[in-house]
Structure 1
Amino acid sequence: MKEITDILNAYYYAQKQGKKAALATVVKVDGSSYRRPGARMLVTDDGLLTGAISGGCLEGDALKKALSAIHQQENRLVMYDTTDEDDAKFGVQLGCNGIVHILFEPIDGLDENNPIKILESINGERENAVIVTLFSLQSKTQLGTRSIIKSENQFGNLPTSIALETLADAQQVLANEKSELKNYKIENELVDGFIEFVKPPIALIIAGAGNDAQPLATIAHLLGWQVTIADGRPTHATLQRFPNAKILVTKPAQILPQLSMDTQTAVVLMTHNYNYDTELLGLLLQTDVPYIGALGPKKKLVRMLDELEMNTETNRSRVYGPVGLDIGAETAEEIAISIIAEIKSSLSGATASSLKEKKQAIHSQTKSIS
């Protein structure tokens, strides 16, 4: 979601400057690549790039293709094939041994269903959504980013002949929480559909406004997470100390009623106030929040659970205490990195093991079905 937010902000700025822009989207990948389907980049007509569609190797050529799309005001699909070992002949030096399909869409500010308007409809919302992007590997007709589907509503403009089928597929992707590639037929012409599942950003609630909470809040904000600081001390929980966070100066019992927690929510207890953390822990264990982290030694956590009379195997397994991955962290900044990594790993369902030990592809493949 951070990439989408950055792209929207860059587009708004470009509009104010009277610049034209195009959106580049990775819609299909075969084999290995640095970015997966759903990666986006905004290109303005003066060459400014926001977002990324590769590790930097594609951006130079993509800039040329985007400027061409802006000039011609026409969607364009470009394939980069690096399965040949001598990928230098493509002039992009990918070195990834894969085939990447990128859709370039010039932004028409007068079109109420342009790709930017579609991305706007999910920005800042805490709701799962599906973005439908239609393209074709077999013809020059590239329909582009066409719709956003949520559980209760839809925004965009799908072709009438495939609208019902596409909406059904989108609802299935919402249910499965996994993107898919689909095939459709419009007037006897095959059309590919990237049905992309999009989660809201992680919401991080930090109970504690001490100095060690500052790097945690800073790194989380850098990642595009939504940060809330909760503490009972008005001298510590301030916008001056946490300029990019929502501030709650309150007792534990008043924290949860002011927040909306979902499957992308993480809470870290680090007030260094034993009674505050214990009371909040008891309240959190009565919710479905997927990640609860507790700073401090394991014996402290056991004592807290004992005092709450909630020391069950289920509760012990729910709480990440001591919080963070074992990376040898010592400083507040290093501890923040270990906590951020554990939260990301937990909410993504990843193993948090070294990538060198992984037998499968680093990224999960987008499922392709006909």
Structure 2
Amino acid sequence: MKEISDILVAYQKAKKERKKTALATVVKVEGSSYRRAGARMLITEDGQLTGAISGGCLEGDALRKALSAIHQQENKLVTYDTTDEEDAKFGIQLGCNGTVYILFEPIKDDVEVNPITILSELESKRECAVLATLFSLECKAQIGTCILLRSSGYTTATTTEINNKLLADLKEVLNDKTSKVEHYTLNEEPVIAFLEFINPPVSIIIAGAGNDAQPLAEMAYFLGWQVTVVDGRPTHATIQRFQKANRILVLKPDQLLTQIDIDEQTAFVLMTHNYNYDFDLLNRLLPTRAQYIGTLGPKKKLIRMLDELGLNTDENQSRVHGPIGLDIGAETAEEIAISIIAEIKAVFSGASAGLLKEKKAPIHVYD
């Protein structure tokens, strides 16, 4: 979501400055690639880039393709193939042994529903959504970013009738929470749809406003997470100490859950250095939908809290991450913050958090 948020901010700036723009989206990948389907980049007519569609190897050529799309005011699908020697001649050289399909869409400000307005809908509600981008490998005409589905309904930018199969697949992706690529025939033309499941950003609640919480709040902010800092001490929980936090709350544990919304994209970090505060809050968090709960401090502290709560079960020991973070040999507050952020990211991504060099399967799984 951070990339999309950055793109929306950049677009509003470009619009204010009356600069024309185009959106580049990776819609399909075969083999290996630095970025996978769903990566996006906004390009302005004067060459400003926001977001990324590769590790830097495609951006130069993508700029030229985007300017062409802006000039002609039509969507364009471009294929970059590492096995094609011509790509190397033109200096693209992906270096990833894969084929990447990128859709370029000029943003038409006079069109009420365009790719940017659809992306803006993602930020209007904190809900899961499915974004459909339609393209064709056989036809010149490209429909583009056109449908956003939520449980409450959908927004569409296409005049093409949404057939029952496409709508059913959108609902399936929303239910399964897994992106996929499907093939359809719309208006008697073959069309490929990248159906992208998008979660709302991670909401991290940092219970504790000590000095060691400051780098954690800043790192979470730079990842685009929604950051809330809560502490019972008004001298510690201040905007001067946590300038990157979205919310700062001075509350007791029994007040906190009435002030925040907890969903499956919520992570709690208990680091108040106050045993009673952490103890009370842990008791209230265990029954919630929070996907991640972590406690700073030794394992015996967590065991003691669960024992005193009468909740020391294998399930709860598995549910709570204590000691919090990955074993990277962290010592300083900044290093500990990295280990905590990395563990939370791994949990939400369903990743192993192991060394990539020891991974036998591809880093990313593509359709």
Task: State the aligned residue count.
Answer: 366
Q: What are the ranges of 5 or more consecutive residues in structure 1 without an aligned counterpart?
A: none
Contact 1:128 1:200 in 2 (8 A): yes
| Deviation of 1:93 (Å) | 1.6
Aligned to 2:326: 325
Instruction: Work out whether 1:247 is the aligned partner of 2:248.
Output: yes
Question: 2: distance between equivalents of 1:50 and 1:112?
Answer: 23
**How far off its partner does 1:26 sit?**
0.3
Q: Deviations over 1:283-310 (max 9, x none)?
A: 0112121111000001111111122222
> Aligned ranges for residues 190-339 of structure 1 at < 5 Å?
190-245=190-245, 246-339=247-340
> What letter matches 2:13 in structure 1?
Y
Is contact 2:295-2:323 (8 Å) kept?
A: yes
CA contact (8 A) 1:87 1:95 kept: no
1:54 is matched with which residue?
54
Corresponding residue for 1:115?
A: 115
Distance 1:2 1:257, change over 3 A: same
SS at match of 1:258: coil
Provide, for residues 203-243 of structure 1, a one-character-per-residue CA deviation record: whole Å limited to 9, x for no partner: 10000000000000000000000010010000100111112
**SS of alignment partner, residue 121 of structure 1:** helix
* Equivalent pair of 1:75/1:144 in contact (CA under 8 Å): yes
Aligned-partner Cα distance in 1 for 2:160–2:67: 31
- 1:4–1:123 contact (8 Å) kept in structure 2: no
Per-residue CA deviation, residues 304-353 of structure 1 (Å, 9 max, x unaligned), is 11222221221111110000000000000000000000001011111000
Distance 2:283 2:124 in 1: 30
Could you tell me how far apart the structure 2 residues matched to 1:141 and 1:349 are?
37
Q: CA deviation at 1:277?
A: 0.5
Following superposition, the deviation at residue 147 of structure 1 comes to 1.1
1:7 aligned partner: 7
Provide closer, same or farther for how the CA distance between residues 275 and 308 of structure 1 changes in structure 2, counting only shifts above 3 A.
Answer: same
Partner of 2:45: 45
Q: For 1:33-63, what per-residue CA distance to the aligned partner results, in whole angstroms no more than 9, with x for missing partners?
A: 0000100000000100000000000000000
TM-score (norm 1): 0.97
Task: Judge which range, 342-351 or 86-95, deviates more.
Answer: 86-95
Q: How far, CA to CA, are the matches of 2:150 and 2:50 in structure 1?
A: 26
Root mean square deviation of aligned Cα: 1.2
Moved over 4 A (4+): 84-87
Q: Name the stretch that deviates more: 159-168 or 227-236.
A: 159-168
Q: What is the distance in 2 between the residues matched to 1:51 and 1:277?
A: 38
Deviations, residues 151-196 of structure 1 (Å, cap 9, x unaligned)? 1111123444433322111000011111111111123210111111
- The one-letter amino acid paired with 1:298 is K
Match of residue 141 from structure 1: 141
Q: Which stretches in structure 2 are left out of the alignment for 5+ residues?
A: none
2:114 and 2:157 in contact (8 A); partners too: no
Q: Name the counterpart of 1:66.
A: 66
Q: Which moved more, 1:356-365 or 1:9-18?
A: 356-365
Alignment map for 1:88-99 (pairs within 5 Å):
88-99=88-99
Letter in 2 for 1:247: I
Aligned counterparts of 2:124 and 2:303: Cα–Cα separation in 1: 37
Identity %: 65
CA shift, 1:91, in A, is 2.0
**Paired residues of 1:162 and 1:185 also in contact (CA < 8 A):** no
2:81 and 2:59 map into 1 onto residues whose CA distance is 15
